[in-house]
Amino acid sequence: MIKEILFKLFRLEELPCHSCETLQMQLAIANEEKSKLLQTILEINRPKVEIPIEPRTIEPIQPKNIPWSVRRQMIEREDRHAAEILARKKLELESSPASDEIEELEKELGIGE
């Protein structure tokens, strides 16, 4: 009785007993588990957002052993292409105004062919 009067007089809160603290901790753990389960159930019902996948062109796998005739044709094709590029560059250089000036200078110096 005196204890109650002192607590009310000084406006003190009673210290909870050990079993009450244990029960409060267990209740908090149970509430947290329930909220996690609820969130999991709600996540299952939500529609999933799918990321669009860009289509890629798939190149066929080349055989490891290429017959010599096919390889020769590939090499010849590459050489013809390279020769065309060199021929175009040569024509561009010959038709440029700088090449005319070079030819005139060569004639003056007597170096020309």
Q: What is the pLDDT of residue 113?
A: 58
Half-sphere CA count of 86, side-chain side, radius 13 A: 6
Please provide the size of the chain in residues.
113
Q: Where are the domains of the chain?
A: 86-113
Given pLDDT bands bounded at 50, 70 and 90, which one contains residue 112?
Answer: low
Q: Which of the pair, 16 or 56, is modelled with greater confidence?
A: 56
- Dist. CA 79–CA 84, nearest whole Å: 9
What are the b/e assignments for 59-85, b being 16+ CB within 10 Å?
Answer: eeeeeeeeeeeeeeeeeeeeeeeeeee
Task: Provide mean pLDDT across the span 96-104.
Answer: 75
Secondary structure string (H, E, C) spanning 47-93: CCCCCCCCCCCCCCCCCCCCCHHHHHHHHHHHHHHHHHHHHHHHHHH
For the cut 80, the answer to whether the pLDDT of residue 97 exceeds it is no
